[in-house]
Amino acid sequence: MEFLLFVFGVFTFGVAWRARNEARQARQIAIELQRELNALRHGAQQSQAPATRAAAAPSSASPTTSKMSTAHSTSPVASTEPATASATKAAGVTATAASIEGVGATAATQAARAAPPKIPPRRPQPVADTPQWLLAAKAWLFGGNLVAKLGLLILFIGVSFLLRYTAARVAVPIEFRLAGIVLADLALLAWGWRIRSTRPAISLPVQGAALAVLMLVTFGAFRIYHLIPSSLAFGLLLVLTVFTCLLAMLQDAMWLAIFGIVGGFAAPILASSGSGSHIALFTYYALLNAGVFTLALLRAWRPLNVLGFTFTFTIATAWGVLRYAPENYLSVQLFLLLFFAFYVTIPLAYARRQVVQLKNYVDGTLIFGTPMLGFGLQFTLVRDIPFAVAYSALALGLLYITLAVALRKRQQYALLSDAYLALAVVFGTLAIPFALDGRWTSAAWALEGAGIVWMGLRQQRKLAWTFGLLVQVGAWVSFFIGTGDHWFGNASSVFERPLLGALMIVAAALFSSWALKQQQPERGSLAYVAYRLMLVCTALWWFGIAASDLALWLASQEIAWTSCTYAALLAATAVISVIGARTLNWPGLRWFASTVWVALVLISPPLLIALYVEPLPNTPIWLAYAALWFSSEWLLRAWPAQGWTLSGFVLRLLHAIRTFGPWLMIWPVAGHWITHWLSGNAADDWSTSASWSRFIPSWLMMAVIAWLMQRSRSDVWPTAPLAAWYQRYLLPLACGWATLLVAAWNLTQDGAMLPLPYLPLLNPLDLSTCFVVLLLIAMQRLQPRMPPLWFIGLFGYCWFNLALLRTVSHYLSVPYAFDDLFASQFVQAMLSLVWSVTALLLMRYAARHTLRRLWIVGACLLALVVAKLFLVDLSNIGGVERIVSFLGVGALMVGIGYLAPYPSQTEHA
C-alpha cells in the first residue's frame, strides 16, 4: 500500500511537470504568433495611406467635379460637403473605364513602392496530440492553487492512514480518556470563570472543583497509569498551584488561595517517587513561600500565612527526622535561613496593611513561633559544632533588636516592636552562657570607656571624657596581657581567639573618635589631638590585630588563604570607609581606603609572575588581587566625586596597575579556576560536571565581548582610543569564535546538566547558544555587514531544531546521535510539522508583504518537507507518527494555499 502511494505521488508529480513544460511551449508559440500578427497589421496600415492619397487627387481634378463646384458656388458652406460627396459618387459611376484603370494603376504602383517587403507566414510546428487525461490533469493542477491541492493529496493519504490505524485498534487508550476529562474540565473551569460576576456563589466552588479534578488527573496520570514522569507531574502541579493562587487574587477569594497552597504543598508528596533531591524539594517550597509572601503583601489573609508556616516547618521537621544526614548540612542550613526570613518578614508585610494585634492567634504564631521553631531546628543542626549555638542566638538577638529599633519610631507598630525587643533580650541572654569567659573583661572595659567618653562630651566634662580615654588605654594593656598564648593558637572557635575582643576594642576606639569629632575641636587642642590619636589607634587595631586574626581564623591558618582573606577585608574596609566618610561627613575615614592601593602595588608583581608559571597553586593570590583591583577601581571613581585629590604620580601609577593587570590574567585564570573548582568539589556520581566547566567560562567570555561592544560604542575605557578597531576586527572575530564553538557543541552535546534535570532552553547549551545569537544581533547593529541578517536567522532556526532534538533525546530516551534520531519516527514527524509551520509563517508573511524571495524560501522548505514525507516518513508502516506527519503537513499545506498565495506584485525593497 505504501509503495503504491509513493508511486502515485511520483506519477502525479511527473504529470504535473510534463503539463507545465507543454503549457510553457504553447505560451511561447502564442507570443510569437501575436508578434507576427502585429507586424502584419502595421505593414497593412502603411500600404493603405499612399493609395488613399492617390485616389483623392484625380477625383478633385475631373470636369464634373469642377462644374458641380461652379454650379454650387453660391450655396451655403454647410451644404458643400454633401454636394461634393454626391458629385464624387456620380463621377465614379459615369467615369470611363480608361480613367478608372489609369487611376488604379497609379495607386497600385505607389502602394507597391511604399509597402514593406512581405513577411512569409510562420509554419506551425507540428504538435503531438495531447491525451485528454493529460489535459485534465494539467487543468486540475494549474487551474487553481498547487500548494493547496498537494496539501489535500497529502491530507487524504494521512486520513487513510488514520482510518487504517483506528480500524486496527478499537479500544480508546487511557491517554485519550484522560485528555477528554481534561478538556471537559477546562470547559467547566472556563464556565466557572465566566459566571464569576453573575453567580459568585457557584463560580468559586466550580473553579475549585475543576482545579481539583486537574490535580487529580495529573496525580492519576503519574501514580496510577504511569503516563508521565515525576518531574513533569511535579511541574504540572506547580503550574496548577500558581494558577489557582492567581485566580484567588483576581477574585479576592481567600479559600481558593488556601486550596491552591494546600495543593502546592501536597504536590511533592503526591508526585514523590522516593528518590528525589532535598534541594529540589526545598527549592519548590521556597517558591511557594515566596508566593505566600506576595499574597501577604497584597491581601490580609491570616489563615493563609499560618497554613504556609505550618506546612513549611512541619514538612521540614519531618524530613529532618527521617532523611537528614550530616553531609546535607550546608544546603539545609541555607534553606532554614531562607524559610526563617520568609516568616519573619510576612508579619511585617501584613502589618503594612493592618495594625498588628499581638493577642491575635495568627500573628502570635508567626511572631513567636517562627524564632522558637527556627532556633530549635538550628540547635539540632549545629549542636555538635563548638559555639555554633552561641553564634545563632547572638545573630537572632541582633536581628530582633534591629527590627525593634526600626519599628520603634512608628506608633502603629509599638506592640510589634515590644515583641521584637523581648525576643532580642531572650536570644541575647541565651548567647552569653554558650560563649563568654573572663578574657572578655578587657573588651568590656573598652566599651565602658567609650560610653564614658560619650557621656563626658555630652555633659561638657573634660575630666570625664579624658578618664574614658584612659580607661580604654588600660583596656588595651589588659587585653594584651589577658590574651597570652591565644595569639598564635590553633583555636577553631572564634570565642577562643582574640578576634571578638579586638573587634570590640576597635568599635570602642572608633566610636570615641567619632564622638570627639562631633565636638568640632580646634586644631592643636587636646580634643583634636585625642581625636586624631583615637582614629590612628582604630586603624592600628583593625588592620594590625582584628583583620589579621579574622583572616587567620577564616582561612584556617593557611598562609595563602589568609592573604586572600586579608585582601578581601582590606577591600571591604576601603568601600565602607569611603561610604562612611561621605555619609557621616567624616573625611578622616577616607584614609582607611589608602591601604588598598598599597596592597595592590605589592601583590601585582608576584601574581603576574605566578600566573604563567603555576596558576592553580596560586589561586588565593589572584583572588586577593581581584578583591583589591575591584575595590581600587571603585575608589578611583568615588574619590574625585567627593572633591578629594591625589598626586599625579600616584594616580598614573594606579591607572597603570589596574589596567595592565586584568588583561594579563582574566582569560587564562577564568577557565583554569572554574575547571579546578568544579573538579575538586564535584561528587563522584556527577558525571557531567566537566560540561559545566566548559559552559561557564564561555559565558564569562561572551559577557566580556558584550561589555566590550557596549564600551566601544561610547569610545571609553577600556576600548578607547581603539574603539573602531575593536568594532571592525576584534569583536567580529570574537563573535565568530563563539559561534563556531557553540555550533560544534550543538552538534555533539545533548545539553545534559546532571545532577539537575534537563530543561529545554534552560540548560547550559541552549543558554550558551542564546547568548551567541544575542551577540550576533548586537554585532550586526554595531557593524551591519557582519554578520548578515539571513545568517543570524538561519543560525537561530538551526538552533531551534537542534533544541527540539535534544528535548526529544532526553524526554523520550533517544540517544543524541544522528543514526538514532534519524531512525526515530517521532523525530521525523516532529520535524515535518515544525518545518511545515515554519513554511506557513514565512509564506504568509511574504504573501502579505509581497516578498517573492522569502516566499520562495518557504516554498523550498515546504518542498523539502514533501520529499521527506515520501522518502522517510512513509517507511514507518502502521505508526502513529506517520499519520500525524501526513495529517499535519497536509492541513498546513491547505492553509498555505489559502492564506499565502504566490505574491503577484513586484517585490518591495
pLDDT tens per residue across span 639-670:
766 666 666 677 656 765 775 667 557 666 66
Give a yes or no: residue 896 inside a domain. Answer: no
Q: Which of 611, 640, 669 is the last residue of a domain?
A: 640
Query: Which cell is 100 given?
Result: 478608372
pLDDT at 771 exceeding the cut of 90: yes
426-473 pLDDT tens trace: 786 567 556 655 456 677 678 877 877 887 887 677 887 888 898 888
Looking at per-residue pLDDT, the higher value among 537 and 49 belongs to 537
Q: Is residue 80 part of a domain?
A: no
Least confident of 136-150, 431-445, 624-638: 136-150
| pLDDT of 96 | 39
Question: Does 341 map to a domain?
Answer: no
Residue 888 has pLDDT above 50, yes or no: yes
Residue where a domain stops, chosen among 232, 261, 276: 276
One domain for residues 46 and 109 = yes
In a domain, 560, yes or no: yes
Classify 761 in phi/psi space as left (phi over 0), alpha (psi -120 to 50) or beta: left
The 10s digit of each residue's pLDDT in 160-174 is 666 566 656 656 677
**What SS3 state is found at 62?**
coil
pLDDT category at 540 given cuts 50, 70, 90 is confident
More confident position, 34 or 370: 370
Q: Rounded CA gap, 360 and 873, in Å?
A: 68
Selection from 88-92, 154-158, 449-453, 881-885 with the highest mean pLDDT? 449-453
Q: Is the peptide bond before 787 cis (omega within 30 degrees of 0)?
A: yes
- Note the pLDDT tens digit of each residue in 819-853: 888 888 888 888 988 999 999 898 888 888 888 88
Report yes or no: 417 and 408 within 8 Å, Cβ to Cβ: yes
C-alpha cell at 246: 492567581
Q: Looking at the structure, do residues 503 and 589 belong to the same domain, yes or no?
A: yes
Please, which pLDDT band fits residue 767 given cuts at 50, 70 and 90?
Answer: very high
Residue 616 lies in domain: 443-640
- Indicate whether 462 and 536 sit together in one domain: yes
Q: Are residues 8 and 139 in the same domain?
A: yes
Q: Is there a single domain that holds both residue 485 and residue 624?
A: yes
Task: State whether residue 424 is helix, strand or coil.
Answer: helix
Residue 15 sits in the same domain as residue 107: yes
Residue by residue, DSSP assigns 828-889 as HHHHHHHHHHHHHHHHHHHHHHT-HHHHHHHHHHHHHHHHHHHHTGGGSTT-HHHHHHHHHH
CA distance 278 to 276: 7
Amino acid in the structure at residue 423: L
> Average pLDDT in the 187-198 region?
79
Q: Where are the alpha helices (DSSP H) in 642-751?
A: 648-681, 689-714, 723-725, 731-748
Q: Is the peptide bond before 303 cis (omega within 30 degrees of 0)?
A: no
Instruction: State yes or no: pLDDT of 353 exceeds 80.
Output: no
Summarize pLDDT for 398-428 with one digit per residue, the tens: 898 888 888 877 777 777 787 887 788 678 6
Residue 371 has pLDDT above 80, yes or no: yes
> Where residue 135 falls among pLDDT bands split at 50, 70, 90?
low
Q: Are residues 593 and 519 in the same domain?
A: yes
Nearest to 52 by CA among 105, 107, 114, 115: 107
pLDDT over 90 (residue 770): yes
- Residue identified by cell 545569537 is 773
The answer to whether position 513 is within a domain reads: yes
Q: Are residues 134 and 205 in the same domain?
A: no
In one letter, which amino acid is 604? S
Q: Which of 425, 505, 518 is nearest to 473 (CA)?
A: 505
User: What are the cell numbers at 854?
Assistant: 522569502
Per-residue confidence (pLDDT) for residue 769, from 0 to 100: 94
- Let me know whether 102 and 229 are in one domain: no
Is 647 a domain residue? no
22 and 119 belong to one structural domain: yes
How many independent structural domains does the chain possess?
Answer: 3
Mean pLDDT is lowest, of 136-145, 216-225, 402-411, 738-747, for: 136-145
Assigned C-alpha cell, 382: 549545629
Answer whether residue 453 is part of any domain. yes
Residue 653 has a pLDDT of 65
The answer to whether residues 252 and 112 belong to one domain is no
- Do 134 and 228 fall into the same domain? no
* Residue where a domain stops, chosen among 248, 276, 304: 276
As a whole number of angstroms, the distance between CA 722 and CA 733 comes to 16
| Weakest-pLDDT range from 14-18, 270-274, 537-541 | 14-18
Q: What is the pLDDT of residues 483-510, one digit of tens each?
A: 765 555 555 566 667 777 788 888 889 9
**Rounded mean pLDDT, 311-326:** 85
Q: Which of 501, 353, 386, 373 is nearest to 439 (CA)?
A: 501
Q: Which residue has the higher pLDDT, 613 or 584?
A: 584
What pLDDT sits at residue 799?
93
Contact residues for 734 (Cβ-Cβ < 8 A; gap 6+)? 701, 705, 708
Judge whether 255 lies within some domain: yes
> Nine-digit cell at 75?
450655396
pLDDT in the model for residue 248: 76
Closest residue by Cα to residue 767 from 780, 751, 778: 751
User: What is the average pLDDT value for the chain, to the nearest integer?
Assistant: 74
Of 430-434, 445-449, 538-542, 685-689, the least confident: 685-689
Q: Tell me, what's the pLDDT at 389?
A: 84
Question: Which of 97-106, 255-264, 326-335 is predicted least confidently?
Answer: 97-106
